[in-house]
């Protein structure tokens, strides 16, 4: 915090009021409702509801479809984060080394940040369309019996590929600026000591990038959790049989399409707990890393 | 620094492959959007552009029937622009003000209010989507720009960006301003805001792209197609591709996808330097 501050009774409240007002109406109120509804059981017509304590949570936690979705979400998130980080790091190291065309490469690799997740989903859907998709045809002509419409693993592959494709740019931007932050003198000293570029990377560059990598890991996990909704909704819609539905997608499907308010709210609350853990983790880490 | 010829060669090869990996799907969508639907249906996706670009894009932009509704792509682009700009402007103003109160003032409720703002990070809109929808419906804000934009602003990301930035501003500035007799509002408008211009621009660019690309919330909120953003339009057109036993209108769906992608990509590429600086410095 600042050493010097204003001491004023009304002004700070005036400045903070708009944000607090919006948060109260559009965040606190719905969040409280989610918690409240997670304890209610509505009848089939939505006419009456009764307080059932933790029954919704018990139902959710014991349902096969939720645990299946939870397992998928974890595997999906880890794979998306690790693969996209690995690809971007590889590209960023190379982009940091080139001298000729460095700016063009940067532009060509970073613009993907601006792609909306459903647009990425649609492009993926197009490439894997059984009628005309180039990748679908390519995979099958190589002898894979690729069928993402019926095979759960193939469908997961499609969603992961799209999610990775969409995320490479963001990671690339962070890695490239991380690499450019490493002093040239350090790199030159390393070059004198060690001819092998690969060894230089693992002993010098990668440890220096560790904070960036860790930060990106958290960012990517959050992305895979929440922002892939648009990708899934436009590509697989969670099919076949919910095999590619992440937890967030399931909240939406159960709440809006299935109209199971209690169950959906209980899922929301469970997700809230998971996200809290992730966020506190991220926040503590960031606060520790940045020195003012 | 010494680099072997082989290393230089592999560097370029890898980077070109990476760039192709990023661009190829979009290029194929673009090339395929310039053919007739019969041609695409018979021959699959195309790598080379055809001769129907003006027909397809013209129809999408100006003829409501091409987008399967009462609304043209031009109107959708307008709605997306309103959402992107409204979201970015609202977020920047509100979070600048809140961060100012948190960093520069000593007041009673500072700590609890900070935690209220912080708590929004714990529960993204995607997670509280059902009750949020009910609240907005209760307020009669469904199918309005207000209902579309305000709930999206109810998050703390921008506030944290500005908080971080203000904390890096030297304390001496405030001391000097106070010696000169400037009050808190004066200091904010005459000193802090001008100092933050680069930061504001960077966050504005990021938020514009984030707002433009919103999907789930507009999808639920806008049952009236007059309010469709172009990202939502894609889903609607895509959903109706196989309706009515006709040849699927793939080229027009692709044309819409390309049009939804161009504005945010242009913004990010044109303001690249500022955008990267904002992204990297604020998220750390």
Residue pLDDT, tens place only, B10-37:
889 999 999 999 999 999 889 988 888 8
Q: Which residues contact A216 (CB under 8 A, 6 or more apart)?
A: A81, A85, A171, A174, A175
Rg of the Cα atoms in chain A? 24
Q: pLDDT tens across A258-286, in order?
A: 777 777 888 888 888 887 787 777 667 65
Q: What is the CATH number of the domain that holds B232?
A: 1.10.3720.10
Q: In whole angstroms, what is the distance from residue B150 CA to residue A127 CA? A: 36
Identify the pLDDT of residue A32.
85
Say if B11 falls within a structural domain. no
Q: Which of B98-107, B123-132, B259-268, B270-279 has the lowest mean pLDDT?
A: B123-132
Say if B64 falls within a structural domain. no
Q: Which of A87-91, B120-124, B170-174, B175-179 has the lowest mean pLDDT?
A: B120-124
- Preferred mutation among B38, B122, B220 to probe A, highest tally of A CBs within 10 A: B122
Residue A249, pLDDT above cutoff 80: yes
Residues in chain B within 8 Å Cβ distance of A215: 283-284
**A12 neighbors B112 (Cβ within 8 angstroms):** no
Phi/psi zone of residue A245: left (φ > 0), alpha (ψ -120 to 50 degrees), beta? Answer: beta
Residues in chain A within 8 Å Cβ distance of B148: none
Residues in chain A within 8 Å Cβ distance of B209: 113-114
Domains of chain A, each with CATH number or no CATH: 11-51 (no CATH), 57-289 (1.10.3720.10)
Say if B16 falls within a structural domain. no
Say if B257 falls within a structural domain. yes
Q: Which residues contact B128 (CB under 8 A, 6 or more apart)?
A: A27, A30, A31, A34, A268, A272
Residue A249 burial class via C-beta count within 10 angstroms: exposed 0-12, middle 13-18, buried 19 and up: buried
The domain of B147 spans: 75-283
Instruction: Please state whether the peptide bond connecting residue A240 to the residue before it is cis, i.e. omega within 30 degrees of 0.
Output: yes
Residues in chain B within 8 Å Cβ distance of A119: 213, 231, 234, 257, 260-261
State the DSSP string of A64-110: HHHHHHHHHHHHHHHHHHHHHHHHHHHHHHHHHH--TTHHHHHHHHH
- Cβ-nearest to A27 among B32, B154, B279: B154
**Distance to chain A for B96, nearest Cα, Å:** 9
Say if B66 falls within a structural domain. no
Beta carbons of A2 and B235 less than 8 Å apart: no
| Residue A22 in tokens | 């919006």
Identify the pLDDT of residue A9.
73
Beta carbons of B136 and A26 less than 8 Å apart: yes
Angstrom CA distances, A208 to A31, A171, A189, A211, A213, stand at: 40, 16, 14, 7, 10
Say if B125 falls within a structural domain. yes
**A141 neighbors A171 (Cβ within 8 angstroms):** no
Residue B163, pLDDT above cutoff 80: yes
Q: Give me the residues paired with residue A49 across strands.
A: A42
Residue B284, pLDDT above cutoff 50: no
Q: pLDDT tens across A108-117, in order?
A: 999 999 999 9
Residue B112 burial class via C-beta count within 10 angstroms: exposed 0-12, middle 13-18, buried 19 and up: exposed
Beta carbons of A105 and B15 less than 8 Å apart: yes
| A288 touching chain B per CB within 8 A | no
Identify the pLDDT of residue B279.
81
A47 confidence band (pLDDT: 50, 70, 90): low
- Cβ-nearest to A19 among B94, B171, B238: B94
Identify the pLDDT of residue B82.
93
Q: How many residues does chain B have?
A: 284
Beta carbons of B21 and A165 less than 8 Å apart: yes
A50: DSSP letter: E
Which of A22-26, A127-131, A251-255 tops mean pLDDT?
A: A22-26
- Which whole number is the average pLDDT over A21-49? 78
Residue A158, pLDDT above cutoff 70: yes
| A1 touching chain B per CB within 8 A | yes
Beta carbons of A110 and B250 less than 8 Å apart: no
Rounded mean pLDDT of chain A?
A: 83
A292 confidence band (pLDDT: 50, 70, 90): very low
Which of B108-117, B150-159, B240-249, B265-274 tops mean pLDDT?
A: B265-274
**Helix count (H) and strand count (E) of chain B?**
16, 0
Residues in chain A within 8 Å Cβ distance of B32: 126
| Residue B197 in tokens | 């211009």
A288 confidence band (pLDDT: 50, 70, 90): low
Torsion B7-B10-B16-B20 (CA) sign = negative
Identify the pLDDT of residue A175.
93
Q: pLDDT tens across B57-69, in order?
A: 888 888 777 767 7
Task: Look at B9 and B157; give whichever has higher pLDDT.
Answer: B9
| A90 touching chain B per CB within 8 A | yes
Say if B106 falls within a structural domain. yes
- Cβ-nearest to A26 among B121, B154, B159: B154
Rg of the Cα atoms in chain B? 24
**Distance to chain B for A195, nearest Cα, Å:** 10
Residue B230, pLDDT above cutoff 60: yes
**How many domains is chain B partitioned into structurally?**
1
**Which contacts of B41-46 are long-range, i.e. CB under 8 A and separated by 24 or more positions?**
B41/A131, B41/A132, B41/B247, B41/B248, B41/B250, B43/A132, B44/A131, B44/A132, B44/A133, B44/A134, B44/A137, B45/A126, B45/A127, B45/A132, B45/A133, B45/A134
Q: In whole angstroms, what is the distance from residue B226 CA to residue B223 CA? A: 9
Predicted complex ipTM: 0.87
Say if B156 falls within a structural domain. yes
- Does the model's pTM come out above 0.95? no
Residues in chain B within 8 Å Cβ distance of A271: 127
A45 confidence band (pLDDT: 50, 70, 90): low
């Amino acid at each position: 915090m600042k050493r010097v501050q204003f001491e004023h009774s009304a002004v700070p409240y005036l400045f903070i009021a708009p944000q607090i007002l919006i948060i109260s109406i559009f965040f606190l109120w719905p969040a409280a409702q989610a918690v409240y509804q997670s304890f209610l059981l509505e009848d089939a017509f939505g006419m009456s509801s009764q307080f059932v304590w933790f029954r919704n949570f018990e139902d959710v936690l014991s349902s096969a479809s939720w645990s299946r979705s939870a397992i998928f979400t974890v595997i999906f998130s880890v794979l998306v984060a690790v693969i996209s980080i690995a690809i971007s790091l590889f590209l960023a190291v190379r982009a940091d080394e080139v001298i000729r065309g460095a700016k063009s490469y940067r532009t060509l690799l970073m613009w993907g940040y601006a792609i909306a997740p459903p647009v990425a989903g649609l492009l993926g859907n197009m490439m894997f369309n059984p009628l005309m998709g180039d990748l679908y045809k390519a995979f099958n002509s190589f002898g894979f019996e690729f069928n993402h419409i019926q095979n759960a693993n193939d469908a997961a592959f499609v969603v992961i590929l799209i999610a990775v494709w969409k995320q490479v740019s963001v990671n690339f931007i962070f890695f490239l600026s991380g690499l450019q932050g490493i002093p040239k003198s350090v790199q030159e000293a390393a070059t004198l000591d060690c001819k092998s570029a690969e060894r230089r990377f693992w002993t010098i560059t990668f440890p220096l990038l560790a904070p960036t990598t860790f930060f990106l890991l958290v960012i990517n996990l959050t992305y895979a959790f929440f922002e892939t909704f648009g990708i899934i909704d436009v590509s697989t819609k969670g099919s076949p049989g919910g095999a590619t539905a992440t937890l967030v997608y399931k909240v939406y499907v159960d709440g809006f399409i299935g109209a199971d308010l209690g169950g959906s709210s209980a899922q929301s609350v469970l997700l809230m707990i998971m996200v809290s853990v992730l966020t506190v983790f991220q926040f503590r880490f960031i606060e520790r890393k940045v020195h003012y | 620094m010494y680099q072997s010829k082989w290393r230089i060669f592999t560097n370029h090869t890898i980077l070109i492959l990476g760039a192709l990996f990023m661009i190829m799907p979009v290029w194929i969508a673009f090339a395929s959007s310039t053919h007739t639907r019969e041609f695409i249906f018979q021959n699959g996706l195309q790598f080379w552009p055809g001769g129907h670009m003006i027909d397809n894009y013209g129809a999408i932009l100006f003829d409501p029937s091409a987008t399967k509704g009462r609304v043209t792509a031009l109107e959708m682009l307008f709605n997306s622009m309103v959402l992107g700009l409204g979201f970015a402007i609202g977020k920047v103003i509100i979070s600048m003000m809140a961060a100012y109160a948190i960093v520069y003032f000593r007041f009673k409720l500072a700590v609890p209010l900070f935690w209220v703002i912080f708590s929004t990070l714990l529960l993204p809109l995607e997670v509280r989507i059902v009750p949020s929808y009910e609240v907005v419906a209760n307020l009669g804000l469904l199918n309005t720009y207000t209902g579309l934009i305000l709930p999206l602003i109810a998050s703390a990301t921008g506030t944290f960006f500005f908080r971080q930035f203000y904390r890096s501003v030297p304390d001496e500035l405030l001391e000097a301003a106070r010696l000169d007799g400037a009050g808190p509002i004066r200091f904010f408008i005459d000193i802090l805001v001008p100092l933050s211009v680069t930061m504001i621009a960077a966050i504005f660019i990021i938020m514009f792209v984030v707002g433009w690309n919103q999907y789930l919330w507009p999808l639920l909120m806008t049952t009236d197609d007059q309010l469709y953003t172009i990202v939502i339009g894609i889903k609607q057109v895509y959903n109706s591709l196989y309706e009515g036993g006709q040849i699927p209108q793939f080229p027009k769906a692709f044309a819409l996808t390309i049009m939804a992608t161009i504005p945010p990509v242009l913004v990010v590429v044109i303001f690249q330097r500022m955008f990267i600086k904002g992204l990297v410095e604020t998220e750390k």
